A and B are shown apart, each in its own frame.
Chain A
Amino acid sequence: MRYVKELSNRNKIVSESTCEALYEQQNDAYTIKFVFSGTENCEINKRKFSIYPDTFAVVNAGTNFCSKIDSISPVNTLSVSFGENFVKDFHHTFSNSNEGLLNGKEVKGTPAFIESLYPFSGDMRFNVLHLKSQLDKGLKDEMLINEYMYHCLLNYYKIYDKEVLQKLDKLSFIKTKTREEVLKRLTLAKEYISSNYNQNITLENIAEQACLSVNHLLRTFKEAYEISPYQFLMQLRLNRAKKLLQTTSYTLNEIVGLVGFECPSSFIRLFKHTFNITPLKYKKSRLN
Chain B
Amino acid sequence: MICDEEKAILVKVDGDTNIFLSEHKHQNQTNKILLTSDDCLEDYCRLKSRGVIFKKAPSYLSEGLSIEFSDPYGNDFIILEQRNYNEE
Q: A residues engaging B (CB < 8 A)? A: 54, 121-123, 126-127, 130, 134, 141, 143-144, 147-148, 151, 239, 242-243
Q: Which segment, of B6-14, B16-24, B38-46, faces chain A? A: B38-46
A-B contact pairs, 30 of them (CB 8 A): A54-B88, A121-B88, A122-B85, A123-B60, A123-B65, A123-B83, A126-B64, A126-B65, A126-B81, A126-B83, A127-B41, A130-B39, A130-B41, A130-B42, A134-B39, A134-B42, A141-B45, A143-B45, A143-B49, A144-B41, A144-B45, A144-B46, A147-B41, A147-B44, A147-B45, A148-B41, A151-B41, A239-B88, A242-B88, A243-B88
Q: Considering the chains assembled together, what is the distance between the CA atoms of A101 and B15 in angstroms?
A: 42
CB neighbours (8 Å) of B65 from chain A are 123, 126
B11 to chain A: closest CB distance in Å? 25
CB neighbours (8 Å) of B45 from chain A are 141, 143-144, 147
B65 to chain A: closest CB distance in Å? 7
A248 to chain B: closest CB distance in Å? 15
Q: Considering the chains assembled together, what is the distance between the CA atoms of A91 and B43 in angstroms?
A: 25
Q: Considering the chains assembled together, what is the distance between the CA atoms of A130 and B45 in angstroms?
A: 14
Q: A54-B88, A141-B45, A143-B45 are in contact. List 17 more A-B contacts (CB 8 A).
A: A122-B85, A123-B60, A123-B65, A126-B64, A126-B65, A130-B39, A130-B42, A134-B42, A143-B49, A144-B41, A144-B42, A144-B46, A147-B45, A148-B41, A151-B41, A239-B88, A243-B88
Q: Considering the chains assembled together, what is the distance between the CA atoms of A239 and B88 in angstroms?
A: 10
Q: Which of B42-62 contact A (CB under 8 A)?
A: 42, 44-46, 49, 58, 60
A55 to chain B: closest CB distance in Å? 13
B57 to chain A: closest CB distance in Å? 9
Q: Considering the chains assembled together, what is the distance between the CA atoms of A144 and B46 in angstroms?
A: 8
Q: Give the number of residues in B that approach A within 8 Å (Cβ atoms).
A: 15
Max chain A C-beta neighbours (<10 A), residue from B41, B64, B65: B41
Chain A residue with Cβ nearest B40: A130
B60 to chain A: closest CB distance in Å? 6
B37 to chain A: closest CB distance in Å? 11
Chain B residue with Cβ nearest A139: B42
A146 to chain B: closest CB distance in Å? 9
CB neighbours (8 Å) of B42 from chain A are 130, 134, 144
CB neighbours (8 Å) of A122 from chain B are 85
CB neighbours (8 Å) of A151 from chain B are 41, 58
A122 to chain B: closest CB distance in Å? 6
Q: Considering the chains assembled together, what is the distance between the CA atoms of A123 and B64 in angstroms?
A: 8
CB neighbours (8 Å) of B60 from chain A are 123
The 5 closest A-B pairs by CB, nearest first: A144-B45, A130-B39, A147-B45, A147-B41, A126-B83
A258 to chain B: closest CB distance in Å? 18
A211 to chain B: closest CB distance in Å? 33
CB neighbours (8 Å) of A130 from chain B are 39, 41-42
Q: Considering the chains assembled together, what is the distance between the CA atoms of A34 and B46 in angstroms?
A: 26
B50 to chain A: closest CB distance in Å? 12
B63 to chain A: closest CB distance in Å? 12
CB neighbours (8 Å) of B85 from chain A are 122
Max chain A C-beta neighbours (<10 A), residue from B45, B46, B58, B64: B45
Q: Considering the chains assembled together, what is the distance between the CA atoms of A149 and B39 in angstroms?
A: 14
